[in-house]
Amino acid sequence: MRTCQRYLLPYAILIALLLSSCTSCSQTGGSQATEPPLPYPQFDRHTAFAYLEKQCDFGPRIPGSQAHQDCLEWLVQELEDLGGEVIRQEFSASTPFGGPFEFTNIIAYFPGDKPGGPVLLGAHWDNRPEADEDPNPALRTQPVLGANDGASGIAVLLEIAHQAHDKTARRPLIIALFDAEDSGKSAAGQFPLDGWCIGSSYLAQNLPAEIPKPEAVIVVDMVGRGSIPNSRVGTPRGSKNYMELQTEGYSRQSAPGLVDEIWSIAEEAGHTAFVRARRGHIIDDHLSFILQGIPAVDIIDFPPEWHTIDDTPEYCSPDSLYQVGDTLMRYLYGVRNP
């Protein structure tokens, strides 16, 4: 994921063109404000955190590594055990860090019984090969463990699958675990999107024929920030010691109705990490779908440990995972406070 603004203008223009022929893109909400609250499965923050720790136990899941392969097999097995129809979408690709590498997007489909097309919830499961934002230059060639950048989003999705698989009173659900998100480099212009989001781009351009096309996409990325101050990396981006989920630029352009619905649900539920401040445009996995004409929203934080070797479970929190997981469960089950 990358925030570098100078590469964004061409995509902004392309998205404007897409939106001009897609006036329904903002009408992606599934629930009604007048609907009474319904019972819905409760997202378990501690189970979710265990999913985060389990991924980190493999080590950095960087392309070509044994940890990457081992985590892949665990993720597939986990989703199969949770009752999803699991598709392994395999492909090979080079990245700005080298290759070609073998990559796998993991896609699980959970039929629902509420009206509407499926919503795709996505996160990336790979990690960054180099901690190039680390304050210590000597550590910048170390791999990133990715407790927050990678594992937190996957943890939220696994716990949603865990809770949702036998409670089908919800919209059809696709859970997509993207490979090869985090190998981009600034000015790697020979790669689309500078080498970021390779897996989600492949999926968005090669949607499996076995499952219905998603009506909307919600990506979660870096949603696990804890409240422990990090004295080594500090708060270099002026950030605070708690998660802050601002609205993101491409999301607001692509799916303003869905952004408003998600943030409204979170506000009604008292999930204070969701704020209405407007973040800039971020190259992240949601953009892969927007570029294919599918409305998409990114729920993303910027922790101080981003792309440093301190992106470890120590700086993550079950409570942050819960705020995002509960919001998404309410969305999937159409739960709105009266």
Residues that bind Zn ion (CB under 5 A): 1, 149, 182
| Cα–Cα dist 101/111, whole Å | 32
Kindly state the smallest distance separating residue 49's Cβ from Zn ion, in Å: 20
Look-up of token digits 């129809």: 85
The residue among 123 and 332 lying less far from Zn ion, judged by its C-beta, is 123
The residue among 261 and 305 lying less far from Zn ion, judged by its C-beta, is 305
Phi/psi for 283 (5° steps) reads: -75, 110
The residue among 107 and 131 lying less far from Zn ion, judged by its C-beta, is 131
**Token representation of residue 54:** 């389990």
Three-class secondary structure of residue 264 per DSSP: helix
Kindly state the smallest distance separating residue 52's Cβ from Zn ion, in Å: 15
Look-up of token digits 């700086």: 315
Look-up of token digits 């999705």: 157
Which residues partner with 216 through β-bridges?
Answer: 119
The residue among 1 and 164 lying less far from Zn ion, judged by its C-beta, is 1
The residue among 112 and 303 lying less far from Zn ion, judged by its C-beta, is 303
Phi/psi for 150 (5° steps) reads: 130, -70
The residue among 180 and 294 lying less far from Zn ion, judged by its C-beta, is 180
The residue among 2 and 162 lying less far from Zn ion, judged by its C-beta, is 2
Kindly state the smallest distance separating residue 183's Cβ from Zn ion, in Å: 9
Kindly state the smallest distance separating residue 177's Cβ from Zn ion, in Å: 15
The residue among 248 and 261 lying less far from Zn ion, judged by its C-beta, is 248
Burial letters for 231-242: b for 16+ Cβ neighbours within 10 Å, e otherwise? eebeeeeebeee
Task: Tell me how crowded residue 13 is: count the other CB atoms within 10 A of its CB.
Answer: 10
Q: Exposed, middle or buried: residue 269 (CB in 10 Å: 0-12, 13-18, 19+)?
A: middle
Minimal CA–CA distance to 182: which of 52, 49, 61?
61
Residue type, 29: G
Residue type, 119: V
Residue type, 79: L
Three-class secondary structure of residue 207 per DSSP: coil
Kindly state the smallest distance separating residue 73's Cβ from Zn ion, in Å: 23
Kindly state the smallest distance separating residue 185's Cβ from Zn ion, in Å: 12
Kindly state the smallest distance separating residue 184's Cβ from Zn ion, in Å: 8
Kindly state the smallest distance separating residue 312's Cβ from Zn ion, in Å: 14
